[in-house]
Amino acid sequence: MPSRKLLTAIAAPAILTLASVAPVLGGTQVGATAAPGSPGPSQAPRPNLVFVMADDLGWSDLGTGLVNGGYGNDYNETPRLDQLAQEGQVFTEAYASVQCSPTRTALHTGQYATRPTNNVYAVGSPAGPATAPLRGVTQGRLAEDGRTAVPVGYTTIGETLQRAGYATGYSGKFHVAGSAEEIVSSHGFDENWGGSQNSHATYYFATNDQFNDSVSPSLDQFAADYTQEYVDENIAPYSVGVSEAQLDALVGTDKHVTDAQTDAALDFIDRSKDEPFLAWVSEFAPHFPVNDAQARPDLLAKYRAKAPGAAPAKPSYGALTEGVDQSVARIVDYLEETPDPRNGGRPLAENTLVIFTSDNGGEEDPVNSGAYNGPLRADKGQMYEGGVRVPWIVWSRNPDLVRGGGRSNETIVNSTDLYTTLASYAQAELPAGVPLDGVDLKPAFSKGTKINRDHFHHLPGYVGVQGPASSVRDGRWKLYYQYTSNSFELYDLAADLGETTDLAADKPGVVHRLGQELIAWLDETDAPLATLREGQPPRVIEDVTGETYANGTVTARRGETITVTAGQQVPFVLPRP
């Protein structure tokens, strides 16, 4: 068996130009680092872009503590992602949505869910149970069908980069499409392997060189059984704590979907390196089902033999998570070892931006999942920090693309930011007349600048135990508004990361200041609200002095009584302190 790598060494809409695009000379980006005897900075081409997203990975599921305030995992092993965090830049205040489909829609559209051209809040209908006091909104791209899908007429980030001359390839879970075909025909990807309207892989292994119908058949060309050559070249170099016999036992067995989608991504990159490319790698793992039958046998054996630490110890979850790490390792190694024909033959890594994150907080279900969000409150499906805060790593061998060295950045990152940021790096033009809610993170990535901004979240319905609510994060403070009780919660995340002490009653001034930000955002984005369910008695809110938001309008009130009857929106009420 070959020696292992040393992991520690390791009809088109009108358009307008993104204001923050880097200066250009002769159609090329200024500022890339040049190797001796190679073309100068003014000749550096536009960078390649690689976006990797794990599914349901918890905030504290990586080995490194850099991404999560020092709460690294002492059971899961993620050596290459740990290395990228040490060499690149991490964002400890990064946010997704309560579930995967709203996050994915935000990534592709650059918009909050409150926008009518997004309108995705949950995986399924957020209407809620018949016993709930409020009724959630109808969501989806068509009001009649409630599908959680990106509108086919919307100009996605993939389409924006295509129009800028980028080759675009998609590998893995897509979910927010009406069909696998739409990913290529309507959402901006030249090629797609495995993505479809399905929410997850119901079984992680191929059978007879085919994955089941939860994975698009486009990935089947990479579904052949493991061969000795494949194991030696693509698994053995990344294995630590796995015996040679365990690796050899993979030969002739079914291919794991994580390996197959990595094969597809690498095949695309290899064929596309003569032009700038976007490789979007949306991992199926470690989303449920998480059990022994879903884990690659060599990694499962490793974690079964491993002593637990302080973090939850679930062998199948650890195996799936390390499989994602190996996927990233293979991609990064290819970038580091492959000459870039557009950049004087230097390694592709010297002109490629790599981003890694997760689509929502981890699901801390020891039976079906096994994620760990550390000290954060709650988990996937809830608006508290454990449900929405995610790891976020950016990396490049080019310091002009990413100012690295393990730098930690406290910029609040939102899923909507990916669109504007990738467009900025690609020197792409943005669609005109479309409200984009993200900020350009390029100054943060490339210079380490902290960008001051707020983060908003709105759920006009139900996801599991989470009811209708809105939130705003501003600096150290996070404010929640619960529509069922018409009440606020306030937490000081700098002193109370676990959100254990509600300070709303003690800090009325802070509540009002953040409440003004939140009500202004609801109004600006024309956010829909849940309604009082049929059969519920009228809701009477007395002596309201302050502002309310409902039906797309902010109303100033003075000593008024508000009566909400069945079918009417239950308002956001901000009393004057």
Round to whole Å and give the CA distance between 371 and 354: 24
Query: Residue 564's CB: how many other CB atoms inside 10 A?
Result: 18
Instruction: Go through the chain and tell me how many residues it has.
Output: 577
Identity of residue 133: P
Q: Which residues of 346-375 are buried (b: 16+ CB within 10 A; e: fewer)?
A: bbbbbbbbbbbbbbbbbbbeeeebbbbbbb
Q: Which of 108, 175, 187, 256 is catalytic?
A: 175
Domain boundaries, the chain: 54-101+154-182+190-411+440-451, 468-575
DSSP 8-state class, residue 164: T
pTM, 2 dp: 0.92
DSSP-derived 3-state class of residue 368: coil
Count of CB atoms situated within 10 Å of the CB of 203: 16
* Nearest CA among 448, 443, 359 for reference residue 105: 359
CA–CA gap between residue 129 and residue 132 (Å, rounded): 5
Helix locations, 352-430, DSSP H: 385-388, 417-426
β-bridge mates for residue 192, sequence order: 170
Identify which of 317, 403, 332 has the alpha carbon closest to the alpha carbon of residue 54: 317
DSSP 8-state class, residue 350: G
Distance CA 186, CA 195 (A): 13
Compute CA distances 354 → 31, 254, 277, 398, whole Å. Answer: 18, 29, 12, 11
Alpha-carbon span 532 to 309, nearest angstrom: 47
Asked whether the beta carbons of 551 and 138 are under 8 A apart, the reply is no
C-beta of residue 459 within 8 angstroms of C-beta of residue 483: no
Q: How far apart are CA 42 and CA 467, in angstroms?
A: 53
Is 175 part of the annotated catalytic residue set? yes
In this structure, are residues 195 and 170 in contact, taking their beta carbons and an 8 Å threshold? yes
Q: Do 56 and 358 meet the contact criterion of CB atoms below 8 Å apart?
A: yes
Residue with token string 């000081």: 492
- The angle, 0 to 180 degrees and rounded to 10, between the axes of the packed helices 257-272 and 315-337 is 10
Question: If you write DSSP's letter for every residue of 221-260 in order, what string do you get?
Answer: GG-PPP-HHHIIIIIGGG-SS--HHHHHTTTTSPPBHHHH
For the chain, helix, strand, coil in percent to 5 are: 25, 20, 55
Per annotation, catalytic residue among 100, 200, 256, 455: 100
- Amino acid in the structure at residue 193: W
Phi/psi of residue 537, nearest 5 degrees? -65, 155
Which long-range CB contacts under 8 A does 217-221 form with residues at least 24 apart? 218/180, 218/192, 218/193, 218/194, 219/171, 219/193, 219/194, 219/257, 219/260, 219/261, 219/264, 221/193, 221/264
Closest CA to 358 of 331, 329, 380: 380
Q: What is the pLDDT along the chain (577 residues), one digit of tens a residue?
A: 333 232 323 333 333 333 332 322 222 222 333 333 333 333 579 999 999 999 999 999 999 999 999 999 999 999 999 999 999 999 999 999 999 999 999 999 999 999 999 999 999 999 999 999 999 999 987 655 677 899 999 999 999 999 999 999 999 999 999 999 999 999 999 999 999 999 999 999 999 999 999 999 999 999 999 999 999 999 999 999 999 999 999 999 999 999 999 999 999 999 999 999 999 999 999 999 999 999 999 999 999 999 999 999 999 999 999 999 999 999 999 999 999 999 999 999 999 999 999 999 999 999 999 999 999 999 999 999 999 999 999 999 999 999 999 999 999 999 999 999 999 999 999 999 999 999 999 999 999 999 999 999 999 999 999 999 999 999 999 999 999 999 999 999 999 999 999 999 999 999 999 999 999 999 999 999 999 999 999 999 999 999 999 999 999 999 999 999 999 999 999 999 8
Spatial contact of 522 and 458, defined as CB atoms under 8 Å apart: yes
Q: Class of the 468-575 domain?
A: alpha beta
| Distance set, CA 355 to CA 70, 90, 138 (Å) | 20, 10, 33
Three-class DSSP category at 530: coil
In this prediction, residue 44 carries a pLDDT of: 72
Cis peptide before 289 (omega within 30 of 0): yes
- Contact between 409 and 90 under an 8 Å Cβ cutoff? The reply is yes
Which amino acid appears at position 455 of this protein? H
d(C-alpha 217, C-alpha 209), whole Å? 10
534: exposed, middle or buried (Cβ count in 10 Å: 0-12, 13-18, 19+): exposed
Q: State both tokens at 93.
A: 């205040």
Q: Which residue has the tokens 């033009």?
A: 429
What's the pLDDT score for residue 174?
A: 98
The DSSP code for 533 is P
DSSP state of 218: G
Backbone angles phi, psi at 291, to 5 degrees: -155, 175
Largest CA distance in the chain: 79
In eight-state DSSP terms, residue 2 is P
Strands of 89-91's sheet in order across:
191-193, 167-172, 277-282, 48-54, 352-358, 392-395, 89-91, 407-409
Does residue 327 contact residue 284 with C-beta atoms inside 8 Å?
A: no
Query: What is the model's pLDDT at position 147?
Result: 75
Sign of torsion, CA 257 261 266 271? positive
Q: What is the pLDDT of residue 343?
A: 97
Looking at the structure, give the CATH architecture of the domain made up of residues 54-101+154-182+190-411+440-451.
3-Layer(aba) Sandwich (3.40)
Q: Which of 7, 68, 173, 162 shows the shortest CA–CA distance to 385? A: 68
